[in-house]
Structure formats: C-alpha cells, structure tokens
Amino acid sequence: MTAAPEHTAYPVGGMPPTRTPADTPPPADVARVRDLAVTVGHKPLLIDVDLTVRRGERVGLIGESGSGKSLTALAIMGLLPEDLAPTGSVVVTGQGPGGIARMTSVLEAGEHGLAAMRGRDVAMVFQEPMTALNPTMRVGAQVAEVMTIHRTVADRGAAARRAVELLDKVGLPDAAEAARAYPHQLSGGQRQRVVVAMALANDPALLICDEPTTALDVTVQALVLDLIVRGVEARDAGLLFITHDLAVVASVCERVLVMYGGRVVEAGPVLDVFTRPRHRYTRGLIGASDLDLSRPEGGLYTIQGSVPAAGRFPAGCVFRNRCTHATVECEAVPPWVGSGPEEGFACAHPVVHHEGGGS
Amino acid sequence: MSRLSRGAEAVMPPPGRRSRAGVEATLLVGGGIVAAITVLALVSLVWTPYDVGEINATERLATSSARHWLGTDKFGRDVVSLLMVGSRTTLLVGLVSVGVAAVIGVPLGILAAMVPKWWGEVLMRANDLLLAFPALLLAIMLTAVHGQGVVTAMIAIGISSIPSFARVVRSGAIGVMKTEYVVAARAAGRRPIAIALRHVLPNVGSLVIVQASVSFAIAVLAEAALSYLGLGAPPGTPSWGRMLQEGQELLFVAPRLEVFPGVAIALAVLGFNLLGDGLRDHFDPRLEDRR
Amino acid sequence: MTDVAISVRDVVRDYRRPRTSLTKPGSVVHALRGVSFDVARGQRFGIVGESGCGKSTLLRIIAGLDQPTSGSVQVGGVEISRLPERRLRFLRAQLQLVFQDPMGSLDPRMRVRDIIAEPLVAQGHRDNIGRVHELLDAVGLQPEAADRFPHQFSGGQRQRISIARALAPDPRILVADEPVSALDVSVRAQVLNLLDELVQRLSLTLVFVSHDLSVVRHVCDTVAVMSRGEIVEMGPIGDVYDTPAHPYSRQLVAAAPRLQAALAGRTAAVLAAETLAARALSSNASSRNAVSRNAADSDSKPTPPTPEQTTPPPKDAP
C-alpha cells in the first residue's frame, strides 16, 4: 500500500498564539510529564512519554487505539489501575487554598493527596457522559458536590446557587429547572455540558478531555467544543485534549503530540505537524483521514498492516513493521530530533519537505 | 463500543480475569474433590469397613481409634462407613435434583425470554408461584401420595429449584436477545429454535453452571432437613444430611458426629463450586493467556 | 429483474412507550413519519442523520427485521412489509447487513468459520468451509482466521469478518449500518477501500447509513438526509454536500469540522457560530418543506425543533 502524497498545498493560517504579554513571567507549567513509562507484567504500555501543558495552552494528544493516549491522561490524574506500574515523573501544579501554588507529584502521592488534586487542580471530561454522571442524583446536586468536596464555596447553599449559575453558563436552558433533573432526563449533549460544568466548577488549572465529543451528534459536538475552549480561556487554564479526530484537534488546539505504540512519535504546533508532518506515521494518519484524497490507482490512502496488540509493538521504532521506509537503522529506537519535548519527532527516515514541492 | 473502552481494552486486559493456569488449577482441584467423593460412593456399593446396617450397642459413641478411625455414632455404626454410604445419597440427591431443575428450568427461561412480552410475563408469574411453594410442603404432598423415599425427596427438591434456574436464565437470555449478533443471526435467516440453541444457550451456559453449583449446595441441605422430618430417605439409609441432623442432639456429648458430616458437605459443595467455576472459565473462549 | 432494488413508500413506524401512569397509555414515539425513496440497482445510496432520526429503524424495516406501522417496502419488486418471518427467506438471500459494532455483532462463543457460514447454514447448505475460505480471502484475512474466535481480532478485522458473513449468501444488496463509525481512522480507510472494491467487483447495490456526512460523501453517489423520522433532503451527493438546500442539511455541513478549514483558521468558535447560524436560519425559515432534487415524492411536514435546538447561545464564557 502506498503512503500519503508528499506534496500538500494547505493554505497558510492557524490558531492564535498563546497570550503572553511581554511584562508577565512565563506561564507556569500546570502539568509536567517526564520519562513516563507504564508496564503491565512485562508488557510495556507507555514508554518515554514527555509532555508539558502550561496555563492557557491548548494541547492536543492524537492517537489511535493502543497508542497509549488515554493511559497518559489517566496517569496524570493518578487513575491508573493497580496492576500497572508507572515510573517517571508526573507533576501537576494547581492553585491550592490561599492562592499558593500547590504541586502534586502524582506517581508518588498517596490517595489523600490525589483526591485533593482531582477536581480541584486538574479535572477530566470523559467520553460517555451517561456513565460519568450518577444516575440517582440530580445534576445540580452533582455539580454542587464537586465544590463542597473541595470546599471552594462557603456552604452547601452557596454551592447549590453556584451550581445553577454554572449550568446556565454551560448553556442549559432554564438552569434552575435543569438542576433538578436527573441525568436520564437530559439529552447526550446536555449531559456532556453538565460534565463540563462539573469539571470547571473549581476553576482547575488543567482540564483533560478524553474524546469528549465522539459520542455526540456532530451539530452538538460543534457547540460543546466551543464551550470547552471558552471555559478554559476564561480561567486561563491549560487544556489537554485527547482524540483520534484530526480535524477536531485542529479546531481546538495550538500544539499537538502524536502517539503510537505507547510512545510520542511527533510533537509541534498544529499547523506545522499537520501540514509538514515529519514522522511516517503522522503522515500516514493524515493521509488516511483525508477522505477527499485518492490514490492514483483508486481508493483512500492507508497505512499498511494493523495496530499490534498491546505490548506487542516491535522493538526499536514502534512503527517499523508498517512503514514503507523502514530499514535496518530502525531496529534501534530513533532518537528524538527537535528543540525539546514540545517540538520534534523520532524517526530515522523522516518526511522531507521542500518549499513548493515534495520529495 | 466507545472508543475509550475499545482503546482501554486493547491496552489494559480487563481486571480480574484469570489466567489459563488459574483456570486449570481450579478445574483440577474441583474435579479432584468431586472425583474423590464419587469414588467413595462407588466403592461403598461393594465394600465398606463396617456394615452400616448393624447396630452395635457395645461400641456406641466411641471416639477415634485404630478400629474406628472417626469413631462411632449412637447406634455403634462406624462413622467412616456411614460417610461412605451417605455420599451415595448426597450425590444422588444433589445431582438428580439439580438435573431435573436444569432440564426444566433452562428451557423455560429461554422460552420466557424469546416469546412475546406478555407470554413471557405469564410464564414468569407461574414461575413465581412455584418459587413461593416451599420444598417442604411439596415433599409432604408427594410423600403422602407416593410414600417416603429418596426419589420423592429428589423430585420435590428438584421441582422447587426450577424457579431459580428459570429466572437466572431468562434474564441472561433477554440480554443475549438484545445483542447485535442475534440480530445478525435473524438477518441471516436463522429460525428462532436455531437461535435459541446456537446463540442463546451457549451464552447463558456460564450462568447455568454457576446456578447449578449453588443449587447443589441447597439441595444437599434440603435433603438433610427432609430426612430430619422423616420425609426423605427412610430412617435406616444413611445420608450426610441425616447424620448432620442426628448429630445435633449429641452436640455437646460427641461434637465430632456433627463436625464430620458437616465438613463432608462443605467439601462437596466446595468441590462442585470449583468444578463449576473451572468449567465455566474453561469453555469461555475469551480467556486470554497472560504471560 | 427490476431496475429498482428497493422501493419505500410512505413508511410510518410508531412505537408506544411503556406506561408511566396507570390511567393513561404510554406516549407514542413517531420513529418514522412517512419516508419514501427508491434505490436503483447498482446505486450507492447513503442515509445521513444524527441520533434519533430514525435511520436505524428504517434499516431494520428494509431488512425485514421489523414491520412498518403503515406504508410499503418492496425489495427486488416483492412487497415485504407484511410478510411473516417464514416467508422472508428469499429476502435473506438477497439482502444482507453489516453492523456498526465490530464486537457486538459477532457471537463471542462461535468460531469465525461458523460465524461466516451462518447465513449459508440458515439456508440449508451443509459443507461450507470452501466458501468460508473464499470469503476470508476476499476480505483480506488469512485462512487460519477461520478457526479463531472474534476476540482474537482487532476491530477492523472483525468488521472484515462481518463483511465476509454478509457476502456469504451472495446477496445483491448490501446494507451497512455505520460500519466504520467505531473504527480508528487508519482502519476506517482500509475498510472503506475494501467495501468499495467489493461493491464494485460484485456489482452490489449499497445502502450506507452514517452520521458522518464526509464518509457518506466518499462512499455514495446519492444521499438522503434524515431528521426526526423524515427525509428532509435527497439528491446526488455532490449537490447536497456543496449546496445544501434544507436548513438541517446546512447545519450538518456547517457543524462538521474539516482539517483544511481548521488549519486555515476555522476554530471551534467559528464552528459553533456557523452551526448556530445555520440553526437560526432553520427556525426563521418560512418554508421548511423537504427538499428533493429529483422527482421522487416526499412528505413535507415542518421539522419540529430538537431539544438541542432550543438551547440559546451562551451569553458569555462558562
């Protein structure tokens, strides 16, 4: 099977850059992941993952099944299942009580420290709103509960009032009435709005979203995506947005990391990565997702082969058993080429882009 | 399936899943216990250390000795021999009553799940009637008609175990009927009988095995209660349940007469439970090998 | 042999919800409110709509797995809408389904060879292993796959097995219900290519249901857009996609994120604004009649607003 074409003519443009006025100190890291590795038994699930999200940044994490993107999110939240053994460092920095920065080293913290962090410094929105909400509690009560647990409001009454406010701000019509509804009385999009309200209730420093709109209708998706972006912008919070949908990432994020086989294979600004991908997998992914592009012999561009089972990725370059450009060199893990964990790629035979033409 | 669950499944094996080695161990232990009891029962048909028909007044309530390894009961009968002969009754009652209950209850449950809703409800209400009818009353009625005996006990216990099978199977079958593979089978042109046999039955099989283990234990204890009331095996026939009941009155004099049959029953129940679990997992094609 | 593979006229499907009160019967759900269209032989007919629009119900009725409350469905010239199950055997040979969920649509306790052979066994054929190997080859799987169980395969491979099963009785019509929605992007491309190749090679008529307009655009030549139990627009895919006439179609097109456009600056905010604008147009539209670009009949009831549509635009950031 052939790989995607070399020459792509995308118009120039892009997302507005992160706001950093000249006289303020550089934005703080809200999440800093270094050398994260997770194994189960002897099977490696995540290897050498480096990731940074700063206040006000919107970072996308792209990958398919088995790439490890959801595991990375769970690792940051300290929600990995017990039989998985993580190593490395994950530091989440939020605003503790009194406005003082509170850093949590997630892999070492006990359950008490993690419980204080979750819902306060970092919050998560999952894919299935129905299972994220308690079916036996009214939604207003669930939003209020998030605040009372972390004592971010004075008392239960204040929490209830603020809950109604939040439900109104996420766009639920007649918020006071909606607060008294049970989850099953709301539509999928409305439930996801409730989940977003719960996630943003305590003004977290970092919002993690794992495929938050995949289960929603496309018209609802557009509105919920906008809701999420405005929500983090208003709080100057960081956003880690995980999905397999390239177009969604391009609409929402400024920076992106591409994961495959438990490793980060490429990273950089969205425009760069999507118009001039360097790693062969990234290029294959972009080609395969473009339904308007056809191969000369007909059909969509595909990546040959299929994703190996968990822990069965090849040694060395994780992509080499599916790559048309793999050579003996690829039997060793390709070094990271780039200015840092936020921009670069790990490929021995990267795509070469010339100005105005392909190779 | 949501992407998250699919992705998670690809990366994390579902927690709590046993490895093949664990399953084989369970099967071995459970099967071993059941086999041992069966052997004991079979051997007792041709030989026991002592004759359990004889009453031996001189050796009543003897403690463990070289002659009687586990002592004697109030009639002077050797406890080991009693346990061996008793295993026959216990196994017989347990297996036959569970067999009767399953053979009637499982098709009933599947039927109730596959017929139109109203008929299903009618069937389930009939099932509930049966559930409400205590095994005891049934046994008394049957004894009045057919006279006392092990067979009467087995039928009575079997009939009163039907409702649990029917209920469990029906709820499992309803779940199976909702799956897309059953819709696919209909789209392929399969008739309802074929769907019931080829898709529903194998997929509720694990539920049946688990229910059978539970019902076996209940049957053994029910037999004990019936024997105590004079409704099960005739007074001369030893059974573990009867030994349990007879040992009650001598609890402070000779507690071993209560302990030994109790342990035997517990062991049998454990063996069948393990065997059931092992069989259920052994036949589940989804069990992965964990290296 | 007729030119029209499937003919649907005024199909209505009502369900009664379970009672919530002792005195009043449960409310009625109008899953389909009078749907009419034709699918010609060899056509690739797409049906697009969001959740609750009735497309899955419509599929089941076409496949003979459900009866309409009223209306007529003809497959290959034969009326199927009132036939009892036992008279539908001929339909099972002509029309087969591919389902959305790659795991749920395969019996986990059956081996692949039995799964694929099932439609043949249902028709009374006994010795099917040769045909099974032929089908595995046609969908790009190894013969060894026949002895394995579904859980041993990936999602994309399971969909291939599903397709192989659907092709077993050599049907004329393939009906696919969101066959790639649950698959990863790179797998989706492979499965779409496979479907394309098979439909071409075997000269099949394809009915392809999806919520994703861009996938339908790639696969089909004609599309019907459904909303709330009705077809609101129907026509050649290029026309409907490039110049959607009905307000709901416009919403669908506006709301879909597209990579190139996003890179050019079509942010989430723009996406939302365009969706809302298209929605506002639909509430303001004086005439909400269904739009069709050919001569087929269609009902023209106005589309009632969905619960989502009554959400007012948020005034400020949450």
Q: Distance (Å, rounded) from C-alpha B34 to C-alpha B22?
A: 18
3-class DSSP state for residue A138? coil
C265 with A229: Cβ contact below 8 A: no
The pLDDT of residue B265 is 85
Best CA proximity match to B61, nearest among B75, B51, B80: B75
Residue B5 has pLDDT above 50, yes or no: no
The stretch A237-243 carries a mean pLDDT of 95
Residue A261 has pLDDT above 80, yes or no: yes
The stretch A8-34 carries a mean pLDDT of 52
Best CA proximity match to C215, nearest among C189, C240, C250: C189
Best CA proximity match to C48, nearest among C59, C40, C38: C59
Question: Which candidate from A220, A274, A291 shows the least CB-CB separation from C215?
Answer: A291
Q: Distance (Å, rounded) from C-alpha A200 to C-alpha A237?
A: 10
The pLDDT of residue C317 is 60
Question: Which candidate from C65, C104, C155 shows the least CB-CB separation from B179?
Answer: C104
Residue B65 burial by Cβ neighbours in a 10 Å radius (0-12, 13-18, 19+): exposed
Q: What is the pLDDT of residues A99-135, one digit of tens each?
A: 678 888 988 888 888 988 998 899 999 988 888 899 8
What confidence tier does B104 reach under pLDDT thresholds 50, 70, 90?
very high
C317 with A230: Cβ contact below 8 A: yes
C104 with B185: Cβ contact below 8 A: no
Higher-pLDDT residue of A50 and B232 is A50
Question: Which candidate from C213, C308, C317 shows the least CB-CB separation from A233?
Answer: C317
Question: Which candidate from A11, A226, A271 shows the least CB-CB separation from C272?
Answer: A226
- Return the domain boundaries, chain C: 4-15+30-245+291-299
Question: Would you call C276 an interface residue with chain A, using a CB distance cutoff of 8 Å?
Answer: yes
> What DSSP string describes chain C?
--SEEEEEEEEEEEEEPPPSSSSSPPPEEEEEEEEEEEEETT-EEEEE--TTSSHHHHHHHHTTSS--SEEEEEETTEE-TT--GGGGHHHHHHEEEE-S-TTTTS-TTS-HHHHHHHHHHHTT----HHHHHHHHHHTT--GGGGGS-GGGS-HHHHHHHHHHHHHTT--SEEEEESTTTTS-HHHHHHHHHHHHHHHHHTT-EEEEEES-HHHHHHH-SEEEEEETTEEEEEEEHHHHHHS--SHHHHHHHHHS--HHHHHTT--HHHHHHHHHHHHHHHHH-S----EESSS-----PPPPPPTGGGPPPPSS--
Interface-testing mutation among B2, B4, B289, with chain A (most A C-beta atoms within 10 A): B4
Distance from CA of B198 to the nearest CA of A (A): 30
Mean pLDDT by 10 residues, chain C (318 residues): 85 87 84 94 94 90 92 92 86 92 90 94 89 94 93 91 94 94 90 94 95 90 94 94 91 88 86 85 56 43 37 48
Distance from CA of A108 to the nearest CA of C (A): 33
Q: What share of chain B in percent tops pLDDT 90? A: 26
- List, as ranges, residues 1-40 from B with C-beta within 8 Å of A: 2-4, 6-8, 10-13, 15
C255 with A244: Cβ contact below 8 A: no
- Residue B14's alpha-carbon distances to A130, A310, B237, in angstroms, are 21, 13, 50
A292 with C218: Cβ contact below 8 A: yes
Question: Would you call C256 an interface residue with chain A, using a CB distance cutoff of 8 Å?
Answer: yes
The pLDDT of residue B10 is 33
The stretch A214-229 carries a mean pLDDT of 90
The pLDDT of residue A4 is 40
Question: Which candidate from B181, B186, B199 shows the least CB-CB separation from C104?
Answer: B181
C185 with A196: Cβ contact below 8 A: no
B187 with C97: Cβ contact below 8 A: yes
The pLDDT of residue B133 is 83
Interface-testing mutation among B3, B9, B186, B200, with chain C (most C C-beta atoms within 10 A): B186
Residue B23 has pLDDT above 60, yes or no: yes
B11 with A126: Cβ contact below 8 A: no
Size of interface B-C (CB pairs under 8 A): 79
Higher-pLDDT residue of C296 and A156 is A156
Question: Which candidate from A218, A244, A292 shows the least CB-CB separation from C211?
Answer: A218
Nearest-Cα residue of chain B relative to residue A63:
B7
The pLDDT of residue C291 is 61
What confidence tier does A85 reach under pLDDT thresholds 50, 70, 90?
confident
Residue B268 has pLDDT above 50, yes or no: yes
Distance from CA of A111 to the nearest CA of C (A): 30
The full set of domains in chain B, from first to last, is 89-270 (1.10.3720.10)
Question: Would you call A234 an interface residue with chain C, using a CB distance cutoff of 8 Å?
Answer: yes
Other beta carbons less than 10 A from residue C227's beta carbon: 26
Interface-testing mutation among C118, C128, C158, C175, with chain B (most B C-beta atoms within 10 A): C118
C chain contacts of residue A221, beta-carbon cutoff 8 Å: 255, 257
Question: Which candidate from C102, C104, C109 shows the least CB-CB separation from B202?
Answer: C109
Q: Are A288 and C186 in contact (CB under 8 A)?
A: yes
Q: Are A331 and A316 in contact (CB under 8 A)?
A: yes
Distance from CA of C118 to the nearest CA of A (A): 27
Residue A24 has pLDDT above 50, yes or no: no
Higher-pLDDT residue of A296 and A284 is A284
Q: What is the pLDDT of residues B144-185, one digit of tens each?
A: 888 778 888 888 899 999 999 999 999 999 999 999 899 999
Question: Would you call A219 an interface residue with chain C, using a CB distance cutoff of 8 Å?
Answer: yes
Q: Which residues of C make CB contacts under 8 Å with B?
A: 63, 65, 86, 88-89, 92-93, 96-97, 99-110, 118-119, 121-123, 149, 151, 154-155, 162, 165, 169, 182
Nearest-Cα residue of chain A relative to residue C307:
A187
Q: Distance (Å, rounded) from C-alpha B33 to C-alpha B270?
A: 8
Q: What is the pTM of this model?
A: 0.83
Size of interface A-B (CB pairs under 8 A): 51
The pLDDT of residue A132 is 86
Please name the chains neighbouring A, where neighbouring means 3+ C-beta pairs under 8 angstroms.
Answer: B, C
Enter the tokens of residue A131: 């299972």
Question: Which candidate from C255, C260, C311 shows the least CB-CB separation from A10?
Answer: C260
Q: What is the pLDDT of residues B48-102, one digit of tens each?
A: 777 777 777 776 777 777 777 788 877 778 888 888 888 888 888 889 999 999 9
A219 with C252: Cβ contact below 8 A: yes
Residue A326 has pLDDT above 50, yes or no: yes
Q: Each residue of C237-261: b (16+ CB within 10 Å) or e?
A: beebbeebbbbbbbbbbbbbbbbbb
The stretch A301-319 carries a mean pLDDT of 87
Say yes or no: domain C4-15+30-245+291-299 is CATH 3.40.50.300: yes
The pLDDT of residue C225 is 95
A65 with B10: Cβ contact below 8 A: yes
Other beta carbons less than 10 A from residue A353's beta carbon: 17
- Return the domain boundaries, chain A: 129-203
C107 with B181: Cβ contact below 8 A: yes
C chain contacts of residue A274, beta-carbon cutoff 8 Å: 259, 263
The stretch B237-241 carries a mean pLDDT of 81
The pLDDT of residue A101 is 81
Please name the chains neighbouring B, where neighbouring means 3+ C-beta pairs under 8 angstroms.
Answer: A, C
Q: What is the pLDDT of residues C194-211, one digit of tens each?
A: 999 999 999 999 999 998
Q: Average model confidence (pLDDT) for chain A?
A: 86
A71 with B15: Cβ contact below 8 A: no
A218 with C212: Cβ contact below 8 A: yes
Question: Which candidate from B180, B198, B288 shows the least CB-CB separation from C105?
Answer: B180
Question: Which candidate from B2, B10, B290 shows the least CB-CB separation from A66?
Answer: B10
Higher-pLDDT residue of A232 and B153 is A232
The stretch B199-214 carries a mean pLDDT of 90
B190 with C122: Cβ contact below 8 A: yes
The pLDDT of residue B258 is 85
